[in-house]
Structure 1
Amino acid sequence: MSEAVDAFLAMLAAERGAAANTLAAYRRDLEAVEGALGNLVTVKQADLGGLGQQWSDLAPATVARKASALRQFYGFLVDEGWRSDDPSAALPRAGARRQLPKILSHAEVEALFSRAEKEAQGGTASAVRLLALIELLYGSGLRASELMSLPLSAVPRDAPFLTVTGKGGQARMVPVSGRAKTALAGWLALHPGGSKYLFPSRGKHLTRVRLFQLLKELAVRAGLTPEKVSPHVLRHAFATHLLEGGADLRVLQTLLGHADIATTQIYTHVDAARLVTLVNERHPLAEKRQRD
C-alpha cells in the first residue's frame, strides 16, 4: 500500500473514530484499485473513469461503497496537499437505493414479548436471560454487538442508564426502561458469576450468532415468521416506534449512536402518515382554514 493510503486510514481512525471493520473494508477497496491502476496519488482521471467497466458485474451497493471510499480518499489527498486536483468526478455513480429497514408492528412486538414473559415466569435461567436480551434490544435500541459485549459494570445501580461502547469505540449513555430494569434484575439474580460480561457463555460472552438463533426460535414459539425477527429488526422497531411517538430525530440519532444523522433519517419513511396529519392539523394555514 502507498504511504498516502496508510495516512488516509490513520486519519479515519484518529479523527473520525472509524471502526476496525470499516478501516479493513476501506483498505481492501483501495488496495484493489491500486493493484489495478497503480499508485493512487498519481493516477489519471481517465483511469478512474474506466473503473465503471471493471465494476459492471458488481451490485450497485458495492459500486457505491467503493466509489465513496475513493472520493473520500481523494478529498483527503487534496486537503493534505498530496494532489492539487480531485479526479474522483470520473468515478461511476451507481445510484444505489438504500434499503428500508424491516420493522415489526406493535402487535408483533407484543406477541414476541408476551411469549418471552410467559416463559420467563417459569424461572429458568435461559428464559429469564432471553427476556432481558429482548428488553434491551427493543427498549434501548442496542446493536447486537453492543449487547453481547456489555460488561457487568455497565449495569446501573441507581441511574437509569447503560454505558455502551459502540462503533469506533465511541461511548454513549443509553436509557433503560422500567421494564428492562426489572428484566435485568431477574437475570442478575440468576447470573452464573465468574465472568465480567453481563451475558456470559463458555468463558467469554454470548455470540451474535447464538442471539440470532434464540430470537428466531422465540419468534416461532410466538407464532411469528422467524425471517422477520432479528436483533437488528428489534433495534429498527425501537427507532421506528419512538419516532411514531414524537421523538426528535436528533435525540434518536444520539440514542442509536449514529455518527451521521443521514443514517437516522431512513426511519422517517415509516412516519409519513403522522407527518401528514401534523401538517394538516398544526400548519398556520390549516388553523386559519379551521377558524374560517
Structure 2
Amino acid sequence: MVKSQDIFVGKHAIHHKTIDLPAHLELFLQHLTVQRRLAHNTIEAYRSDLQLFISVIAEQHVTSCAAVDKKHIQLFFAHCHNKKHSARSSARRLAALRAFFAYLVAQGIITTNPLLELDSPKIGRNLPKALHLEEIDLLLTRPLLPTPINIRNWTMIHLLYATGVRVTELVSIPLKGCNLATCHLRILGKGNKERLVPFDAKTAACIREYMERARPAMVKNRTNTMLFLSNRGRAMTRNRFWQILRETARARGIKQDISPHMLRHSFATHLLSGGADLRSVQMMLGHADITTTQIYTHIDTDRLKSIHQRFHPRG
C-alpha cells in the first residue's frame, strides 16, 4: 500500500522528501496539463521560467523544495535584473513561482510559501494596436487575380477580422468546425475550451467561394480535414499565414508592420466602438477573465472626446 505522504513519479511511489525540485516541477506540469487543462504553450512557458529558477538557485546548492526561502526568490530576481530581463518577464516568472509553490503547499510538500510577502513588479500596460477602418478595407479588397491561393489568403484575412480568433485557432479550424448554414465557427481555444464565434454573410460568401473554387485545387486527391490548406494540400501554419498577411498589407500600400494579433485587436476595438457590450466581446475573444477584455475600453479616446463635446453642457 502506498502511504499518504508518498507520491508517484512515473510508475513508482516515492516519499515526497526524497525527490528534488526538478522532479516536483514535472509533477506540477502534469497537474497543469491533466487537472487544469492549460494550453501547451502556457505549460511550456511555466516549464521555461521554473527551470531557469531551479538552475539559478542550484548554484547556491539548493535542490529541495523545503530549502527554498525568501532570500532565494530575491536572489533569482536579482539575477534576472542583472541580466537586464524586462519587468514583464519578471512578472510572468513571479506568477509561475506563485503557482508552483502554492501547488507544493496544497500537496503537503512544504508548509510555508516563500512568496507570500513578495509584491509583483510594476509594469506598464501596452495598449493593443488596432488598424484604421481604411486599412481594414484595403486588406479586405477582393484580389484582382482570383487564383486559388489569392482566394484562400483573402478568405483567411476576412475570417480573421470577422471573428477575432487567434491565429493558431484560425489555422486549426477543421472543416466540421465551420458552419456556413448558421454562420459560426466552433473554436477550440486556450485550455481546450470550446466557444462559438459568429461571422457575417459576406464572410460566409468568401468561405463558400474558397470551398468551391480554391480548396479543391489544393487538396486534389489527398485527404485533409482542415479548412485552410497550403498549396501542397497540407494544413496552413501560423508562421506562413503571418507572412501572407504582411505580404498582402505591403501589396495594398499599408506602411505599418501588421500582425494577425492586430486584426484580433481591431475586431474587438471596432465592436466596442460600435456599441457592443463587453461581455459579448469577451465570449467571442475567448478571454477567461473580463479584465483582459476591458483593456479595449481605453483605446477609442477620440470617440469618447467627441461624445463629451457633443453632450456635455460645456463641451
Give the TM-score taking structure 1 as reference length: 0.86
Which residue is 1:232 aligned to?
261
Identify the residue that residue 45 of structure 2 maps to in structure 1: 25
Cross-structure match for 1:148:
171
Say whether the 8 Å CA contact 2:139–2:157 is kept in structure 1. Answer: no
- Please state if 1:123 is matched with 2:146: yes
1:39 to partner: Cα distance: 2.3
**Aligned partner of 2:77: which letter?**
G
Give 3-state SS (helix, strand or coil) of 2:115's partner: helix
Correspondence for 1:5: 25
Asked if 2 retains the 8 angstrom alpha-carbon contact of 1:258 and 1:264, the reply is: yes
2:300 counterpart residue number: 271
SS of 2:111 mapped into structure 1: coil
Q: Partners of 2:168 and 2:279 in 1: how far apart?
A: 23
Which residue of structure 2 aligns with residue 39 of structure 1?
Answer: 64
CA contact (8 A) 1:4 1:41 kept: no
**Could you tell me which of 189, 201, 204 is aligned with 1:166?**
189
Deviation of 1:42 (Å): 3.2
CA contact (8 A) 2:245 2:260 kept: yes
| Higher RCO (CA 8 Å, separation ≥ 6 residues) | 1
The structure 1 segments of at least 4 consecutive aligned residues displaced by more than 6 Å after TM superposition are 276-282
The 1:8/1:275 distance shift into structure 2, 3 A limit, reads farther
| Alignment match of 1:221 (pick from 240, 251, 259) | 251
Alignment match, 2:4: none
**In the alignment, which of 76, 93, 105 is matched to residue 103 of structure 2?**
76
1:52 and 1:91 in contact (8 A); partners too: no
In structure 1, the residue matched to 2:133 is 106
CA drift at 1:241: 0.4
> Contact 1:48/1:90 (CA < 8 Å) preserved in 2?
no
CA pair 266-40 structure 1, distance change in 2 beyond 3 A: farther
How far does residue 3 in structure 1 lie from its aligned partner after superposition? 4.4
CA contact 2:164–2:268 (8 Å) conserved in 1: yes
Matches of 1:10 and 1:280, distance apart in 2: 55
Q: Is the 8 A contact 1:26 1:69 kept in 2?
A: yes
- Cα distance, 1:92 vs structure 2: 6.5
Alignment partners' CA distance in 2, 1:41 and 1:149: 43
Give 3-state SS (helix, strand or coil) of 1:172's partner.
Answer: strand
Percent of aligned pairs with the same residue?
Answer: 36
The DSSP-based 3-state class of the residue aligned with 2:42 is helix
**Structure-1 residue corresponding to 2:114:** 87
Match of 1:138 in 2: 161
1:248 aligns with 2:277: yes
| RMSD of aligned residue pairs (Cα, Å) | 2.4
Equivalenced residue count is: 280
Q: Give the Cα separation in 2 of the matches to 1:86 and 1:16.
A: 21
Structure 1's 23 and 276: CA in aligned 2 closer, same or farther, altered over 3 A? same
Q: Deviations over 1:20-46 (max 9, x none)?
A: 111111112112212332223431122
Rounded Cα–Cα distance in structure 2 between residues aligned with 1:70 and 1:4? 13
Report the counterpart of residue 257 of structure 1 in structure 2: 286
Q: Residue 205 of structure 1 aligns to which amino acid in structure 2?
A: A
Note the C-alpha offset of 1:98.
2.9
**Mapped contact 2:143–2:151 kept (Cα < 8 A):** no
Give me the whole-angstrom Cα distance separating, in 2, the residues matched to 1:46 and 1:148.
Answer: 45
Q: Post-superposition shift, 1:279?
A: 7.8
Distance in 1 between residues matched to 2:115 and 2:303, nearest whole Å: 40
Match of 2:207 in 1: 184
Measured after TM superposition, the shift of residue 75 of structure 1 is 2.3
Aligned partner of 2:54: which letter?
E
> Measured at CA, do residues 270 and 245 of structure 1 come closer, stay the same or move farther in structure 2, by a change above 3 Å?
same
Structure 2 vs 1, CA of residues 71 and 171 (structure 1 numbering), >3 Å: closer, same or farther?
Answer: same
- The 1:40/1:274 distance shift into structure 2, 3 A limit, reads farther
Q: Taking structure 2 as the reference length, what is the TM-score of the superposition? A: 0.80
Paired with 2:306 and 2:103, the residues of 1 have a C-alpha distance of 44
After superposition, the C-alpha distances for 1:142-190 in whole angstroms (9 at most, x for unaligned) are 1111111211121214122111111222221110211110100110012
Task: Tell me which residue corresponds to 1:210.
Answer: 240
Give how far 1:118 is off.
Answer: 4.2
